[in-house]
Structure 1
Amino acid sequence: MNIIKYSTLVFFICFVGIKVNAQQLEWAEVEPGVWKTTVGNPEKYNLLTASGVAPYHEALLKLEKSNFPLSKTDITTKVVDGKTYLKFPLQKSEQIFGFGLNFKTVNQRGKILELHVDHYNGSDNGRTHSPTPFYVSSKGYGVFINSARYLKVYAGSAVQRDSKNPPKVQDRNTDPDWDPHPYSDGVEILVPAEGVEVFVMGGPTPLNAVQRFNLFNGGGCLPPRWGLGFTQRVERMTDAKGVFQEAKDFEEKGYPLDFIGLEPGWQSKSYPNTFEWDKKRFPEPEKMVKELLQKNIRLNLWINPYVSPDAPFYKKIFPYTASHTVWAGLVPDLKTDSARNFLFNALNKNKVDIGISGYKIDEVDGGDSYLWPDLATFPSGISAEQMRQTYGLLMQRYTTELYQQKNIRTYGLVRGSNAGGVSFPYVIYNDYYNHQDFITALINSGFAGVLWTPEVRASNSPEEWVRRFQSNVFSPMAMINAWASGTKPWTYPEVAPIIKEFALLRMEMMPYWYSEFAKYHFQGIPPFRAMNLEDGFQNIIPAQEIKNNNLEENPYAKAITKEIKDQYMAGGNLLVAPVFTGQKSRTVILPKGKWFDFYTGKYAGDGEVITATPGLAKIPVYVKDGGIIPMTKPMLHAPKTDEKVDIEFRYYGSKPGTYQLYDDDGETYNYEKGDYSIRTVKISKIKGKLTGSISDGQKNKPNSTGKISYKMMTL
């Protein structure tokens, strides 16, 4: 059948009674390098309306100009029987990254996923803590589907019969290279709604596409300085006396500590929750918070949002809750003003208003047997499916507002998020606890617009304890979560000196971490990200690995390209390659350009595969040529506002280096009004002699820098 193309073509396939609407798309550049099209009749409630974020226009203006990166005629859409079908072109050499917080794979081409908020259960099938409907191409563009529905994704895995680039037909009987997965020339996405908003992010590089996505969603979060220090979550039934003892032990043993996390036992009842202090374990919470703050230690409180019949506001909030309960607790409809008022007033009164510094928001992700079912109803009319996809976003949004109203920054933990959550000061965690997969998740977090911590809970050996702790230090939140185990940094005495060294290293690197998070906010550059976003990395051809090739056991066996999912960039200058339990050595792929050992400054390699044998006391970390790492003295607490700290700028290699050192008061949102400073550091080595300079501090701008020194790490 020949079909004549019009701007909108509607035809009916009467014999099956299905309505098909094919639409020629109109793209509008809504922000610099960001284009939008509307397909069908999009739902009013989506990820952007749930998060309430606005694009960071001024930052987007500063990015390199980009043209529309795809062939518009090769993007096809249609609405069939109340569902929206999307197809985006793929070239043969393209790699696809993203589609949420995946734990086992980085390259998503060839995958079939259902993007569904859930706890991670061991398989990269789309069910995860943040199933962000955004993907990035190795060709230097990104695609974002703004829908709060469960999306079905065929990421280069389906072949249409009328494809412009059909796969080669092979005969398995005679072709030894027969491929069970024929070439697919498109990413196809099924949206279970009568329309959707689609955004394309320009490049020209994959990192630029990620930057545009992050800035379009408000820019990355900028934690308070103390949030980048060290945190210990105590055993779940710890009382006030135990909290003070914890703080005392850390201080006496010389371990850094910036905030303590209280688990469910701080409440009078939990699962479901009263959101009230247990008066026996915590008789004077305001006094406790005040005394801890005087010691430069803050408190973070565990919650989930499900309301116990014993909560003081239970009867009042009842009419504004879902038809189904969770752990016999009410589920507040956060799209109603009344439910929000009751719940967040409870989180403010005698908590935030007495100095509680943040929340850990649990169980807003899954699984299906715990949370409300998809047939649940909510007073606002938002479907259970849409609420599942956005509940973590809503909790982050409104708890953040509690702190914004007081002009105090927070930094917390959350189990569920989605697109739109980039700017919220929360880090995702879970109960899966596989070290290798935790690192893959950390890599993928940079594509998903979220932060992830490979937290440390417990270990089976001193070696595992060290290896987990080392990689956790090079992550968005350095944390021991001892809610069940009661573990301490010094739990294994034989490796306690190594643990202390890395805990203090975290504090020494505070100027670096803070400056890199500033880039996340002002430039949209993820502080922790995949090697695929690093210049020079994609030019290296990795080795091959063979999956099970026994045709009896695996009749569709096929060699696959090895993914690089165990090393990552930490900020702009550091490459981190964690070592896992049982490993004595590991290979590291260095991008093109010279790289140097972080600890010694010795030359490591240039665009090559090297073998690292660090021993137990080190995690392999490398610095690019000309890299500058600002370091300070090893403090036990993050510096206070206006506290002067001396900074040593460590310089690696021989290439002239430049670094942007960021500074503000470290605690308020005044930086959003321009109350911050960025000082340019320049270092070069001429005839073996080091020359360093830093631009003058601006008048009436924050300046916490004390004495400045420069250290040449590479001799």
Structure 2
Amino acid sequence: MKFTDGFWQLRPGVTALYASEAYDLVASDGRLVVTAPTKVIERRGDTLNRPVLTVTLTSPLEGVIGVRIEHFSGGREEIGFDLVGAEPGHGDAEVVGDAGLLRSGDLTARVTRGAPWNLEFLSGETRLTGSGHKAQAYLQLASDAQVDPGPVGNARARTDGPRSHTYLHEQLDLGVGELVYGLGERFGPLVKNGQTVDVWNADGGTSSEQAYKNVPFYLSNRGYGVLVDHPGHVSFEVGSEAVERVQFSVSGESLQYYVIGGGAPAEVIDRYTRLTGRPASVPAWSYGLWLSTSFTTDYDEATVTSFIDAMAEHRVPLSVFHFDCFWMREFNWTDFEWDSRTFPDPEGMLERLHAKDLRVCVWINPYIAQRAPLFAEAKELGYLVTRPNGDVWQWDLWQAGMGFVDFTNPDAKRWYQDKLRALLDQGVDAFKTDFGERIPLDVEYFDGSSPERMHNWYTQLYNQAVFEVLEERRGSGEAVLFARSATVGGQRLPVHWGGDSTSTFDSMAETLRGGLSLAMSGFAFWSHDIGGFEGMPDPAVFKRWVAFGLLSSHSRLHGSSSYRVPWAFDEEAVEITRRFASLKLSLMPYLLAAGAEATRSGIPLMRPMALAFPDDPATAYLDRQYLLGSDLLVAPVLTATGEVEFYVPEGRWTSLLSGETRVGPRWYRETHGFDSLPLYVREGAVLPIGARDDRPDYDYLDGLTLEVYPGGSGSSELRVVQPDGVEAVFAVERSADRVRVSGAPGSWGARLAGGERIDSVDGRLELELD
């Protein structure tokens, strides 16, 4: 949101009051409080009729410093994000001469007394960023102010952003060569410099500026991140209004943000997810292939069974079957009742699907249609969000006359969860939590929450309510969502998928950009609609998307008005789906270990190159390739010709599919058939390969092969995490002429890449190098 008209002027109707100096510094109890008048105080009379900003610095966690900017502090306490990792006792505040200091771990905030206003953040003696002249401001907008709050939401659905008469903004310096990533799932360029980004959840598809998963956290390549603790509308100008700064603004009388230190980007994400919550672990079975009924297609149990049986006949391993919206009767969504016309025996059907060794997921959303009997029940009980006059808030967009559940009401939450418990009792294993973005502003909540702040936060309450029931009934580590909308903290409730794409190569590329942007925002587990959602992909798009989808953390075949079974395209599509589904399942010992690492550190399975190789400037803008785990480089083919350009960082990289090697740092151009893509293993990797390729949840140690790639020296460890969570640790020692591996006794072995497998003896083996 832009308030200025060029460098010197404000836009018509805008009044800005800037923090002009640090007039007073008070340090006590781990807090530094700064009085910042909006004019330099030159005489006593200047203190009269003069607004001030109160700036309070605290630390909720080692290496994290919070800044709260307030104009009036007498307002009610508004909701913020759940900072589940915040701890008391961090932060050491003092005033030394003309400097106020707050130290927390390796991060220091320093405020210099006097004018001009100067707040800076340092790691050791290195300045990371700072807030300088005309950076902190309280802004007042006249009713006719020429400021556009932006088309930040679904205007047609009347959920576009709020308009306020007062705002606060902060501007943090953007250094030469500094790049900004993150801000949630965004489908444009991975690097956010030069962009205006409005954090406001919206249902806009993958081809627009809108996003389902908005996260007011950005990651700088200069060794820090910034979280704006405001669940409502946050507008970012990333080197776009003031090209030397990142500006973020919120409506109201206060602004709270946190600067998160760490150094390398992975360490910043580690600290950020310590503060906002680690991703939960997800079960091994969820990594397998999911097949959906698709959205508006016709289906019943016979259709579902025919698809499942045909997948088996074509030897395409399937792990999860997903029932999309029409498992419920039309005009009734969401009433949690199977449509008896097409599914007269849901319990029996679910039992029959389980007998085929499948898990079952069903689609839900937080809305209740007026035609559903549940609507009258929820209205009577007061469980639906209301208008200020007490009427249930309703509209006809999506489901006729629908209202939405008020998750701020504990009784309403339990009521909704009881409906889910009944489905779990029937045999359902997982829920696709769709929607949660089109949340209006002309409403009142049970707990009195601000509608503006609840707009983005609503999805967290919704997904959390569902996830809690899954954990309660299925146990920790077995709960899995397939969620579309999210905000800060949503990473604790995996998995998330990329939303409504079109069935084109362009949309495949934008989908990948969205996933990589979300990864830079602390989300570890992510999926997307293989083949695209809207339209019918041509066979080339489908086959290329299959390879990409099955080299993602989670993999689902899903569409809108057409089925996504591979034989609907051509026979080769069946072969390609089988090939990459089997490849993924053989990589499960590697993938599940990467998932376990994500739950420990927040580091995503699909890692942007800039996250994995921060010291290589060539990776800074790469958004068409990624690391899957720590050792596999994946470059999806995004062209009809099969041509693909990709970059390999320093070292020797070996194709997992062909055994060819590439040496970096260097760009390569290759042409691949549908059964291939650039999939390269990092130099010095030890890649655990499972003995089975027909299911994701098997005994990984039974017949495990450790594939050893050239390079590296010294000692290292390899962890293999079993589906039951038990870890096996292998010690790897390299010398100039041999590699020694030791671990638990069993039927595991090892081989040099492309060589013969050698079985272990009493948990040990030795490989001779050429």
Residue of structure 2 in register with 1:713 after alignment: 753
Structure-2 change in CA distance of 1:73 and 1:97 (3 Å): closer
Pairing partner for 2:378 from 317, 336, 342: 317
Structure-2 change in CA distance of 1:231 and 1:373 (3 Å): same
Pairing partner for 1:569 from 627, 633, 636: 627
Q: Is the 8 A contact 1:652 1:714 kept in 2?
A: no
Pairing partner for 2:301 from 233, 236, 240: 240
C-alpha distance in 1 between matches for 2:360 and 2:313: 19
Residue of structure 1 in register with 2:410 after alignment: 337
How far the C-alpha of 1:603 sits from its partner, in A, is 2.1
How far the C-alpha of 1:661 sits from its partner, in A, is 2.1
- AA at the equivalent of 2:496: V
Residue of structure 2 in register with 1:701 after alignment: none
- 1:376 counterpart = 2:406: no
- 1:474 counterpart = 2:551: yes
Structure-2 change in CA distance of 1:138 and 1:73 (3 Å): closer
Structure-2 change in CA distance of 1:565 and 1:89 (3 Å): same
- 1:399 counterpart = 2:399: no
How far the C-alpha of 1:190 sits from its partner, in A, is 0.5
Q: Is the 8 A contact 2:56 2:69 kept in 1?
A: yes
For structure 1, the 5+ residue unaligned runs are 58-63, 160-183, 366-370, 543-562, 698-705
Residue of structure 2 in register with 1:89 after alignment: 173
- 1:32 counterpart = 2:62: yes
Q: Is the 8 A contact 1:104 1:441 kept in 2?
A: yes
Structure-2 change in CA distance of 1:599 and 1:193 (3 Å): same
Q: Is the 8 A contact 1:536 1:593 kept in 2?
A: no
1:585-664 alignment to 2 at 5 Å? Answer: 585-639=643-697, 645-656=702-713, 658-664=716-722
Pairing partner for 1:364 from 436, 446, 460: 436
Q: Deviations over 1:62-117 (max 9, x none)?
A: xx974345458636534445422212122112111111211121111121121110
Q: Is the 8 A contact 2:65 2:107 kept in 1?
A: no
How far the C-alpha of 1:602 sits from its partner, in A, is 3.0
C-alpha distance in 2 between matches for 1:290 and 1:20: 68
Pairing partner for 1:679 from 706, 729, 751: 729
Structure 1 range deviating more: 574-583 or 221-230: 574-583
Structure-2 change in CA distance of 1:441 and 1:567 (3 Å): same
Pairing partner for 2:226 from 139, 143, 167: 143
C-alpha distance in 1 between matches for 2:559 and 2:602: 33
C-alpha distance in 2 between matches for 1:665 and 1:530: 26
Q: Give the number of the structure with larger relative contact order, counting CA–CA contacts within 8 Å between residues 6 or more apart.
A: 1
> Higher strand share goes to which structure?
2
C-alpha distance in 1 between matches for 2:407 and 2:363: 19
Pairing partner for 1:117 from 198, 201, 209: 201
- 1:424 counterpart = 2:451: no
How far the C-alpha of 1:468 sits from its partner, in A, is 0.6
SS at match of 1:405: helix
SS at match of 1:281: coil
SS at match of 1:27: strand
C-alpha distance in 1 between matches for 2:646 and 2:674: 17
Structure-2 change in CA distance of 1:281 and 1:684 (3 Å): farther
Residue of structure 2 in register with 1:523 after alignment: 601
1:174-573 alignment to 2 at 5 Å? Answer: 184-235=243-294, 236-270=297-331, 272-318=333-379, 319-322=382-385, 323=387, 324-326=393-395, 327=399, 328-349=401-422, 351-365=423-437, 371-408=438-475, 409-433=478-502, 434-450=507-523, 451-457=525-531, 459-482=536-559, 484-491=561-568, 492-535=570-613, 538-540=616-618, 563-573=621-631
Count of paired positions: 635
SS at match of 1:103: coil
C-alpha distance in 2 between matches for 1:446 and 1:307: 32
C-alpha distance in 2 between matches for 1:357 and 1:56: 35
Pairing partner for 1:8 from 35, 38, 51: 35
Residue of structure 2 in register with 1:549 after alignment: none
- AA at the equivalent of 1:109: N
- AA at the equivalent of 2:182: G
* TM-score, scaled relative to structure 2: 0.77
How far the C-alpha of 1:501 sits from its partner, in A, is 0.7
Structure 1 range deviating more: 271-280 or 400-409: 271-280
Structure 1 range deviating more: 533-542 or 488-497: 533-542
Q: Is the 8 A contact 1:651 1:714 kept in 2?
A: no
* TM-score, scaled relative to structure 1: 0.82
SS at match of 2:443: coil
Q: Is the 8 A contact 1:628 1:652 kept in 2?
A: yes
- AA at the equivalent of 1:449: G
SS at match of 1:468: helix
How far the C-alpha of 1:690 sits from its partner, in A, is 4.5
Q: Deviations over 1:178-218 (max 9, x none)?
A: xxxxxx32211101132233222112111211221123222
Residue of structure 2 in register with 1:48 after alignment: 81
Structure-2 change in CA distance of 1:594 and 1:536 (3 Å): farther
Q: Is the 8 A contact 2:686 2:718 kept in 1?
A: no
Structure-2 change in CA distance of 1:643 and 1:504 (3 Å): closer
For structure 2, the 5+ residue unaligned runs are 1-17, 25-33, 89-103, 109-120, 141-165, 388-392, 756-770
Q: Deviations over 1:540-572 (max 9, x none)?
A: 388xxxxxxxxxxxxxxxxxxxx3211111111
Structure-2 change in CA distance of 1:541 and 1:299 (3 Å): closer
How far the C-alpha of 1:143 sits from its partner, in A, is 0.5
SS at match of 1:414: coil
Q: Is the 8 A contact 2:328 2:336 kept in 1?
A: yes
SS at match of 2:188: coil
Q: Aligned Cα RMSD in Å?
A: 3.0
Q: Deviations over 1:367-386 (max 9, x none)?
A: xxxx3432233333223332
C-alpha distance in 2 between matches for 1:56 and 1:237: 52
